[in-house]
């Protein structure tokens, strides 16, 4: 089962900190979204493996867009 990592706040993708296949733990830093002049970290909602990344650096994202999937 895969858990979707959603955009918490509309902005642009500043940096992606993981790759597909990486093992992550809950609260690990996954990527950075630039919004409201700040670089905001997005954290892993659960333990698992990054199975898919749907954005790339520079992309504009909206609230609740899916950023990546984590397979538990």
Partner 1 sequence: MKPYFENMERFGKALKQARIKRAAASAEQLKQTENDTEQLKKNVEAAGFSTEKINQRGVMTVWQRIEYLVDPGSWHPLHSTYNPLDNVEGTTNVVDGLGKIEGRWAVVIGFDNKVMAGAWLPGQSENILRVTDLAQRLNIPLVWLVNCSGAKLPEQEKFYANRRGAGTPFYRHAELEQAGIPILAGIYGTNPAGGGYQSISPTILIAHKNANIAVGGVGIVSGMAPRGGFSVEMLEELVEKTREFSASPPGTVATHFDQTGFFSHVCEEETEVLDGLKEYMQAIPAYQARFFRVGTPKEPEFPIEDLYSLIPANQKEVYNFDEVLARLVDGSEHMEFRPDYGPEMYTGLCKIDGMLVACIGNRQGYLGKGYPEYADYPGMGGKLYRQGLIKMNEFVTMCGRDRIPVIWFQDTSGIDVGDLAEKAELLGLGQSLIYSIQQTDVPMMLVVLRKGSAAAHYVLGGPTANRHNAFTLGTPATEIAVMHGETAAVATYSRRAMKEKDAGRPLQPVVDKMNALAEHYHDHSQPDYCARYGLVDEIVKLQDLRSYLQAFAGAAYQNPTSICPRHHMLLPRSIKG
Q: Which stretches of the chain bind partner 1, using CB under 8 A?
A: 8-9, 17, 25, 27-29, 32, 34-41, 63
Closer residue to partner 1, CB minimum distance, 1 or 57: 57
Closer residue to partner 1, CB minimum distance, 27 or 72: 27
Which phi-psi region, left, alpha or beta, contains residue 41 (left: φ > 0; alpha: ψ -120 to 50)? beta
Nearest distance in Å: CB 24, partner 1: 9
Beta-bridge partners for 25: none
The answer to whether 17 and 29 are in contact (CB under 8 A) is yes
Scan for tokens 């990527």, then name that residue: 31
Nearest distance in Å: CB 31, partner 1: 12
Give the integer Cα–Cα distance in Å for 1 and 31. Answer: 21
Closer residue to partner 1, CB minimum distance, 23 or 71: 23
């Amino acid at each position: 089962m895969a858990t979707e990592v959603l955009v918490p706040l509309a902005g642009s993708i500043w940096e992606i900190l993981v790759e597909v296949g990486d093992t992550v733990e809950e609260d690990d830093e996954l990527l950075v979204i630039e919004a409201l002049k700040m670089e905001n970290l997005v954290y892993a909602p659960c333990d698992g493996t990054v199975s898919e990344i749907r954005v790339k650096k520079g992309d504009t994202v909206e609230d609740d867009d899916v950023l990546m999937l984590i397979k538990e």
